[in-house]
């Protein structure tokens, strides 16, 4: 097991990474100390891992809440149902919510923990690559609005993140590829050397090579933990972590949260961000081709399909990073050097989207 710390003073917490962590009873009991526990999972993950987790806490007051699978269920209705479960079971303020699943489960469980009695403990047990390298770390919790993703939520940090890499063995290939989009993102925004490593090892990652996966997860978490410690509430550098997300979130909402997985939409968004950077003269055509080649090798899309530029631009205006000064985008000055900039003229974006 390897451990990385997210350093946030008295709210610091560990990210434990290793194989077989769900079988480590001592670690689970140490990380989840509450007497009342609500495990939130979904209909896919729960049959695989909930029994294993529950067996460790057999003598405690453990309840479960099972969500339908999919981004389209990350709604205020699902959030309210979790609160109903907490209230009906008589959960106190010293209880703990455990998020067992991917990004949807972690986001909605964290928001419920942040809201119930103005905040109770929660622990992330991510079971998808995307959740392990991104959404479980940093304290962003949210639900979606039909017209815009993650518009309702809170910054609320977990007590711990327990990443059992063995859970990736049951992950469908499409979900694994979606997680790789977020891994690639870290190389693009701050670490050109890591991007090069990914080019060399993407096949090993897709083949679930344990050493390669552990390195990719650890390096991704190291980068995110450092950025979050510096800028917890995204007032500056943390915005870099949204590379590709403004485009991607617009596409997700246009597709009714069913057409693409989150990581697939982010992959398209990163390709668009690179092409926008190229249109502005910041990166070379060869860099765009290199980025798109790695995304394709990872099994990810790089084009918007049949949505019009106007439709995408309209949804982009609903992005959380849009303010009184207009929309901001995360673009590239080079592979390994992301920057936060005001969005260029809509004619530039329309041309990139049309292409």
pLDDT tens across 254-308, in order? 999 999 999 999 999 999 999 999 999 999 999 999 999 999 999 999 999 889 9
Clarify whether 7 is annotated catalytic: no
Same domain, 150 and 236: no
**What does the pLDDT read at residue 83?**
98
Q: Which of 63, 73, 224, 275 is catalytic?
A: 224
Q: Is it the case that residue 9 has pLDDT exceeding 90? A: yes
Same domain, 163 and 142: yes
End-of-domain residue from the set 170, 201, 221: 170
Same domain, 10 and 159: yes
**Residue range 235-248: average pLDDT?**
95
Same domain, 230 and 264: yes
Mean pLDDT of the chain: 96
pLDDT tens across 179-213, in order? 999 999 999 999 999 999 999 999 999 999 999 99
Q: Which of 16, 185, 249, 315 is catalytic?
A: 249
156/59: higher pLDDT: 156
Q: How confident is the model at residue 321 (pLDDT cuts 50, 70, 90)?
A: low
Clarify whether 145 is annotated catalytic: no
Clarify whether 73 is annotated catalytic: no
Structurally, the chain folds into a number of domains equal to 2
Q: How confident is the model at residue 324 (pLDDT cuts 50, 70, 90)?
A: low
Q: How confident is the model at residue 147 (pLDDT cuts 50, 70, 90)?
A: confident
Clarify whether 144 is annotated catalytic: no
Q: Which of 16, 140, 159, 219 is catalytic?
A: 140
The range of the structural domain enclosing residue 224 comes to 173-354
Same domain, 290 and 260: yes
pLDDT tens across 101-146, in order? 999 999 999 999 999 999 999 999 999 999 999 999 999 999 999 8
Q: Which of 65, 74, 149, 262 is catalytic?
A: 262
Clarify whether 315 is annotated catalytic: no
**What does the pLDDT read at residue 323?**
63
> ∠83-148-182 over CA atoms, to 5°?
90
**What does the pLDDT read at residue 318?**
83
Q: Which of 242, 264, 292, 321 is catalytic?
A: 242
List all residues 6 or more positions away from 211 whose beta carbon is below 8 Å from its beta carbon. none
Query: What CATH number is associated with residue 126?
Result: 3.40.50.1970
> ∠68-108-259 over CA atoms, to 5°?
55
Q: Which of 234, 252, 264, 292 is catalytic?
A: 234
**What does the pLDDT read at residue 330?**
97
Clarify whether 201 is annotated catalytic: no
Q: What share of the chain is helix, strand, coil (3-state, %, to 5)?
A: 55, 20, 25
Least confident of 22-31, 53-62, 68-77, 171-180: 53-62
Q: Which of 71, 182, 252, 292 is catalytic?
A: 182
Same domain, 42 and 147: yes
Q: Which of 185, 238, 275, 315 is catalytic?
A: 238
Q: How confident is the model at residue 253 (pLDDT cuts 50, 70, 90)?
A: very high
Clarify whether 289 is annotated catalytic: no
Task: Report, in angstroms and rounded to the nearest whole number, the Rg of the chain calculated over CA atoms.
Answer: 20
Q: Is the dihedral of CA 329, 332, 333, 338 positive or negative?
A: positive
Measure the CA–CA gap between 114 and 155, rounded to whole angstroms.
8
Clarify whether 24 is annotated catalytic: no
Is beta strand 140-145 parallel, antiparallel or unpaired with respect to 148-155?
antiparallel
Burial of 111 (0-12, 13-18, 19+ CB in 10 A): buried
322/142: higher pLDDT: 142
CB atoms within 10 A of CB 299: 17
């Amino acid at each position: 097991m390897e451990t990385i710390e997210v350093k946030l003073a008295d709210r610091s917490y560990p990210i434990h990474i290793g194989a077989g962590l769900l079988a480590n009873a001592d670690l689970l009991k140490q990380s989840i100390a509450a007497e009342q526990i609500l495990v939130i999972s979904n209909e896919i993950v729960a049959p695989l891992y909930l029994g294993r987790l529950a067996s460790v806490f057999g003598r405690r007051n453990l309840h479960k809440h099972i969500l339908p699978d999919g981004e389209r269920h990350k709604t205020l209705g699902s959030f309210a149902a979790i609160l109903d479960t907490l209230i009906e079971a008589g959960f106190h303020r010293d209880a703990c919510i455990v998020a067992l699943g991917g990004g949807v489960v972690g986001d909605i469980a964290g928001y419920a923990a942040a809201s119930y009695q103005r905040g109770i403990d929660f622990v992330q047990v991510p079971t998808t690559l995307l959740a392990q390298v991104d959404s479980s770390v940093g304290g962003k919790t949210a639900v979606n609005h039909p017209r815009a993703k993650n518009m309702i939520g809170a910054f609320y940090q977990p007590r711990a993140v327990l990443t059992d890499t063995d859970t990736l063995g049951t992950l469908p290939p499409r979900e694994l590829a979606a997680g790789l989009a977020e891994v690639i993102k870290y190389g693009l925004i701050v670490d050109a050397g890591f991007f090069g490593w990914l080019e060399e090892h993407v096949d090993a990652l897709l083949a679930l090579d344990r050493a390669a996966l552990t390195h990719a997860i650890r390096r991704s978490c190291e980068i995110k933990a450092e950025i979050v410690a510096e800028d917890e509430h995204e007032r500056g550098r943390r915005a870099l972590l949204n590379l590709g997300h403004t485009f991607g979130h617009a596409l997700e909402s246009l597709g009714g949260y069913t057409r693409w997985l989150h990581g697939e939409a982010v992959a398209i968004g990163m390709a668009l961000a690179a092409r926008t950077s190229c249109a502005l003269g910041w990166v070379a055509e060869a860099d765009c081709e290199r980025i798109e080649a790695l995304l394709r090798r990872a099994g990810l899309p790089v084009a918007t399909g049949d949505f019009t530029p106007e439709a995408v631009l309209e949804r982009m205006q609903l992005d959380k990073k849009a303010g009184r000064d207009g929309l901001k985008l995360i673009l590239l000055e080079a592979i390994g050097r992301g920057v936060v900039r005001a969005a260029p003229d809509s004619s530039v974006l329309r041309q990139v989207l049309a292409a």
